[in-house]
Amino acid sequence: GKPLIPYDQIGAETLSKLVDAFYQRVSAHPKLAPIFPNDLSETARKQKQFLTQYLGGPNIYSAEHGHPRLKARHHPFPITPDRAQAWLECMSEAMDEVNLSGQFRETFYNRLVLTAHHMVNDYDSEE
């Protein structure tokens, strides 16, 4: 049969739960919370849109915000290697919480590792 696109494998509902579980951890993380807004509802809404298209679903992020230009959109924030690691730890724990496992999780997580490392824009500051 036709191979499932990753977005159809995870489904909108689990993706939404994943993003909520992720930002719950971000908001409590001492290395991440200080660079994020206090109210993460708009951030989570955009991340749901972004990950939908990242996983091959409809391009709803770009339809509302234009080309992602992710690295440029992160320029205002000091993304140190430490913070990239913290981001990935929050994501891994969120994946545990919504029971993502197996090859799907592995492939998705490995893509996020590459994207997170690409966001690093500050190699100096110690937080």
**Which residues in this chain contact ligand HEM in the complex, by CB under 6 A?**
32, 35-37, 42-43, 46-47, 50, 65, 70, 73-74, 77, 79, 83-84, 87, 112, 115-116, 119
Q: How far apart are CA 14 and CA 32, in angstroms?
A: 23
| C-beta of 33 vs 97, nearer to ligand HEM | 33
| C-beta of 1 vs 44, nearer to ligand HEM | 44
Residue type present at position 17: K
| C-beta of 9 vs 112, nearer to ligand HEM | 112
Least separation in angstroms between residue 123's CB and ligand HEM is 13
Please name the helix (run of DSSP H) or strand (run of DSSP E) that holds residue 102, with its range, or none.
helix 102-119
Q: How far apart are CA 97 and CA 91, in angstroms?
A: 10
Query: Who's near 105: CB < 8 A, 6+ residues apart?
Result: 95
Least separation in angstroms between residue 124's CB and ligand HEM is 15
**What are the b/e assignments for 49-83, b being 16+ CB within 10 Å?**
bbbbbbbebeeebeeeeeebeeeeeeeeeebbeeb
| C-beta of 21 vs 35, nearer to ligand HEM | 35
Least separation in angstroms between residue 14's CB and ligand HEM is 16
Least separation in angstroms between residue 1's CB and ligand HEM is 29
